[in-house]
Structure 1
């Protein structure tokens, strides 16, 4: 990574523009009548995040592949229910609202013209891009996402926290290890083990039958991690109930592959990128053309003022 040092903010961009789309009325339109509620809402989100948290560096992380083949090969049900079988124009296309999809290229063009780093890598989800930037970071990291899967990256020792939007981005759950232990009984990497044990219907992860969140947390507290739990299954003296032992044994094939699916990658081949938050647009002429065509109005102007006046910390 090239750029200045200081706090790095990583945006789970799709998570945020989905929230913007559903949070801003679709009556917000371009001069030609095209809805731009997700575009303007995301710009407002970035403006608020920069004002409130003053990152020195910012990366908009993208889903180049929202359902990577290597994850599907391990667990075929992974995100299978999200595939738009009847409306897809290609294989494994995620179904999104009709008026949102056309706004995504506009979002990308505006971010590029602003000079905000935008990174997606073929074969990987935004989560994996975030995981790799986090692993390589040389300072504190704020991850802004509505996806709890990224709780696994929280690390107080390295200054990594998740800012989880509760209402817009004005009200954020600042997620650190203490909060995770209070809420889930685990922290950091332990959250990934908790997630794969309990399962997640929204991601097509079956989990272990009969083991919910509370039981998973108790098992992790008792045995440390997934490897410790499976060692306990093989130890007749370990403090597992017969039902737990049977269910974990039956789930062994799933548990052998689930960690690679659930844990975000930290070795994505990231392109060289300048992560420094821009003070001025990279392409002012192009940005002005986008602003006029799409009627970005006050949302873009406010962000430009904020970027120009930023005090990096």
Structure 2
């Protein structure tokens, strides 16, 4: 009887990767029928390369079933608001979808077909982002090392050494060739947060300093360095907020004034920035990465139809050799 697979659980931030694939490869790459397939080819190659590099025993492509969840918008209405088409009326802002290039949208369906034929699992949670799916799966994993693959630094909040197994983030924000593997030590060194709780401290720091790319204003006058220093000194965002209203606390007058002025934001920022860790996640199939495709004939048909024979071949080779 063969030994059970011992590789890591690889959690891929689906949209983060196929957006990068779309912009990294020219749209002039088309299928025989003329449809652009640059994202299909690029994403498939990414999955192949990640499988070859990390030799996962399990792999899940995590999906945004709602890229702008209502609970986050209710707490901070500006959350990702700038990503919504400008012509939309304000009252419709929660209902519209994130702007996606017209030629990328149909390619997402193509990618889903390739994943299904290959036997690679996808997963989503109703009303939540891929970050929340990843947060839930990483938090509840107790058997295998977890490697999260994303270009979103927010997921650095998940890194851990203990309890076993560890969680690492393979950050691809500068492209797959320049990707970096982040654990607590790397997050602590880079951002100046405590090593012992680097992940949660990063989330608190991110909430405090804000993030313009997500529509989070942060506290005026507090940047990365000062946010990290404050979280390190007081231990958490909640403890810092308590210190701001405590006259006896060791908090500089100017910083105290900034925190008090931003209290309405700070009391809701934590739940918006922190990923959900107890979502109800639904899978398309079991997450065990097969050594051969679920439907070889169908995958071969798709490879030809989408001008993706070379990327699919590389994916199959990686799956077989992991």
Give unpaired runs (5+ residues) of structure 1.
none
Matched with 1:263 is 274
In the alignment, does 2:119 pair up with 1:108?
no
State how far apart, in whole Å, the 1-side matches of 2:137 and 2:293 are: 23
Matched with 2:294 is 282
CA shift for structure 1 position 246: 1.3
Q: Which of these residues, 84, 100, 125, is aligned with residue 121 of structure 1?
A: 125
Matched with 2:13 is 12
CA shift for structure 1 position 295: 1.4
Matched with 1:309 is 321
Q: Which shows bigger deviation, 201-210 or 235-244?
A: 235-244
TM-score normalized with structure 1 length: 0.93
Secondary structure of the corresponding residue to residue 219 of structure 1: helix
RMSD: 1.9
State how far apart, in whole Å, the 2-side matches of 1:188 and 1:8 are: 19
CA shift for structure 1 position 234: 2.1
CA shift for structure 1 position 281: 1.4
State how far apart, in whole Å, the 2-side matches of 1:284 and 1:87 are: 44
Secondary structure of the corresponding residue to residue 10 of structure 1: strand
In the alignment, does 2:146 pair up with 1:141?
yes
CA shift for structure 1 position 278: 1.4
Q: Provide closer, same or farther for how the CA distance between residues 160 and 241 of structure 1 changes in structure 2, counting only shifts above 3 A.
A: same
Q: How does 1:88-237 map to 2 (within 5 A)?
A: 91-138=95-142, 139-157=144-162, 158-165=165-172, 167-186=174-193, 187-237=198-248
State how far apart, in whole Å, the 1-side matches of 2:299 and 2:183 are: 37
Q: Provide closer, same or farther for how the CA distance between residues 125 and 11 of structure 1 changes in structure 2, counting only shifts above 3 A.
A: same
Give unpaired runs (5+ residues) of structure 2.
none
Q: Is the 8 A contact 1:67 1:92 kept in 2?
A: no
Q: Is the 8 A contact 1:4 1:275 kept in 2?
A: no
Secondary structure of the corresponding residue to residue 52 of structure 2: helix
CA shift for structure 1 position 202: 0.5
Q: Provide closer, same or farther for how the CA distance between residues 296 and 76 of structure 1 changes in structure 2, counting only shifts above 3 A.
A: same
Q: Is the 8 A contact 2:8 2:54 kept in 1?
A: no
In the alignment, does 2:74 pair up with 1:73?
yes
Q: Is the 8 A contact 2:208 2:222 kept in 1?
A: yes
